[in-house]
A and B are shown apart, each in its own frame.
Chain A
Amino acid sequence: MEMVELGGKMLEIDEDGFIQDPDLWDEAVAADLAKTEGVDELGELHWKLVNYLRDYYLEFNMAPMIRKLCKATDLKLKEVYDLFPSGPAKGACKVAGLPKPTGCV
Chain B
Amino acid sequence: MSEKKQRSHKAEMVIERLGQKLNRQVVGSLAACVHCGMCTESCHYVLANPGDPTYAPAYKADKVRKLFKRHYDWTGRVFPWWVKAGSVFTDEELEELKDTVFGKCTNCRRCTLNCPMGVDFATFNRMTRGLLVSVGIQPEGVAVVSKDQWEIGNQMGVLKEDYLDTLEWMEEELQDELEDPGVTIPVDASDCDVLYAINPREVKYDPRSIADAAKIFHAAGEKWTMPSEGWDQTNFGLFSGDDALGGSVARRLYEKVIELNAGKLVISECGHGYRSTRCEGSNWAGFDVPFEMESSVLTMLRYIKEGRIKVDRSRNTQLVTFHDSCNNARSCGLFEEPRELLNLVCENFQEMYPNRAENYCCTGGGGAMSMSEYTPQRLKSGVIKADQLKETGAEVVVTSCHNCVDGLSDVIKHYEIDMEVTQLVNLVANALVIEEKVVVPVEEVPVAVTADEVPVAAALEALPLSGRVIVVADDEPDQVEFLATVLEDNGATVHRAGTGDEALELARREKPDLLTLDLHMPGRDVGEVFEMLREDPELEDLKICVITGRPELRRLIYDRSVRRPEGYLDKPVDEANLMLNVRKILELAHEEG
Which A positions have Cβ atoms within 8 angstroms of B? 14-16, 18, 62, 65-68, 70-71, 77, 86-90, 100-105
Query: Is B566 on the interface with A (CB-CB < 8 A)?
Result: no
Nearest-neighbor residue (CB-CB) of B273 within chain A: A104
**How many angstroms from the CA of A8 to the CA of B199 in the assembled complex?**
39
Contact pick for B208, options A14, A18, A77, A86, CB 8 Å: A77
Contact B141 A67 (CB under 8 A): no
**How many angstroms from the CA of A103 to the CA of B234 in the assembled complex?**
10
Contact B372 A14 (CB under 8 A): yes
Contact A15 B376 (CB under 8 A): yes
**How many angstroms from the CA of A70 to the CA of B172 in the assembled complex?**
14
Query: Is B332 on the interface with A (CB-CB < 8 A)?
Result: no
Which B positions have Cβ atoms within 8 angstroms of A? 141, 144-145, 148, 155-158, 162, 165-166, 169, 173, 199-201, 203-208, 234, 270, 367, 369-370, 372-376, 402-403, 406, 409, 413
**How many angstroms from the CA of A12 to the CA of B157 in the assembled complex?**
27
Contact B162 A65 (CB under 8 A): yes
Contact B200 A103 (CB under 8 A): yes
26 CB-based A-B contacts, threshold 8 Å: A14-B372, A15-B375, A16-B372, A65-B166, A66-B166, A66-B204, A66-B205, A67-B165, A71-B169, A77-B208, A87-B206, A90-B406, A100-B372, A101-B205, A102-B141, A102-B144, A102-B155, A102-B157, A103-B200, A104-B199, A104-B201, A104-B270, A104-B369, A104-B406, A105-B205, A105-B406
Q: Nearest 6 pairs between A and B by C-beta?
A: A15-B375, A89-B205, A67-B166, A103-B156, A102-B144, A103-B155
Add 8 more A-B contacts to A15-B372, A77-B208 (CB < 8 A). Answer: A15-B376, A67-B169, A68-B162, A70-B169, A103-B156, A103-B200, A104-B367, A105-B369
Contact A86 B413 (CB under 8 A): yes
Contact B205 A87 (CB under 8 A): yes
Contact pick for A15, options B200, B208, B374, CB 8 Å: B374
**How many angstroms from the CA of A103 to the CA of B270 in the assembled complex?**
13
Query: Which of A18, A68, A89 is most buried by chain B, counting CB atoms within 10 A of its CB?
Result: A89
CB neighbours (8 Å) of A71 from chain B are 169
Contact A65 B204 (CB under 8 A): yes
**How many angstroms from the CA of A86 to the CA of B405 in the assembled complex?**
11
Contact pick for A86, options B173, B207, B367, B409, CB 8 Å: B409
CB neighbours (8 Å) of B199 from chain A are 104
Minimal beta-carbon separation of A73 from chain B (angstroms): 14
Contact pick for B403, options A66, A68, A87, A104, CB 8 Å: A104
**How many angstroms from the CA of A100 to the CA of B200 in the assembled complex?**
16
**How many angstroms from the CA of A65 to the CA of B156 in the assembled complex?**
10
Known interface pairs A101-B205, A102-B148, A103-B155; A77-B173 also in contact (CB < 8 Å): yes
Minimal beta-carbon separation of B363 from chain A (angstroms): 13
CB neighbours (8 Å) of A87 from chain B are 205-206
CB neighbours (8 Å) of B373 from chain A are 15
CB neighbours (8 Å) of B372 from chain A are 14-16, 18, 100
CB neighbours (8 Å) of A104 from chain B are 155, 199-201, 234, 270, 367, 369-370, 402-403, 406
